[in-house]
């Protein structure tokens, strides 16, 4: 497993990080993620795997709502920030708030990338890229695995 060090997009803060195994500090009982997640969810959320492009349930989703962490339910990305990047994974130009995600330098795969994790439970979400020329307010693309997300639609919220 690759050891990661911190970095973040220039507009975001960074905090310390360990390996992709990602333990979370908490005051409650420790969660056995393999008992609550499917094997596919566990591989992506807790081990940093990536789902195949164009296969995820939210790749082409346009419903209004809040995208939450599939592992812990934390609100991460409002649907208003989702855009069609045609990259094979759901893309967002910003999280709900900077304190909802954390960033880690990822040197795996022979390139430098910025990993995005849920700030609440430290689950792997995907990666964020900058300067790709998309017409978004932030010039960022949060490329997020569908399997890392759960969409809470506006109808379900209220």
Indicate which residue of 69, 118, 121, 143 is catalytic: 143
Largest separation between any pair of C-alpha atoms in the chain: 45
Residue with the two structure tokens 């094997």? 39
Q: Is 143 a catalytic residue?
A: yes
Give the burial class of 139: count Cβ atoms within 10 A of its Cβ; 0-12 exposed, 13-18 middle, 19 or more buried.
middle
Q: What are the CA-CA distances from residue 8 to residues 42, 95, 102, 115, 116 (Å)? A: 24, 13, 8, 9, 9
Asked if residues 47 and 148 have their Cβ atoms less than 8 Å apart, the reply is: no
Supply the residues annotated as catalytic.
143
């Amino acid at each position: 497993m690759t050891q990661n060090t911190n970095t973040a997009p220039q507009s975001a803060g960074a905090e310390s990080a360990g390996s992709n195994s990602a333990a979370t500090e908490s005051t409650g009982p420790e969660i056995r993620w393999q008992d609550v997640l499917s094997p596919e969810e566990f591989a992506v959320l807790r081990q940093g795997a990536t789902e195949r492009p164009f296969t995820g349930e939210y790749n082409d989703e346009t419903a209004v709502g809040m995208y939450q962490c599939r592992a812990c339910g934390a609100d991460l990305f409002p649907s208003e920030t989702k855009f069609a990047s045609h990259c094979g994974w759901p893309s967002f130009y910003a999280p709900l708030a900077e304190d909802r995600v954390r960033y880690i330098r990822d040197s795996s795969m022979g390139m430098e990338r910025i990993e995005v994790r849920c700030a609440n439970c430290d689950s792997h979400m995907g990666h964020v890229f900058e300067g790709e020329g998309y017409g978004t307010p932030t010039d960022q693309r949060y490329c997020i695995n569908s399997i890392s997300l759960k969409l809470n639609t506006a109808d379900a919220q209220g």
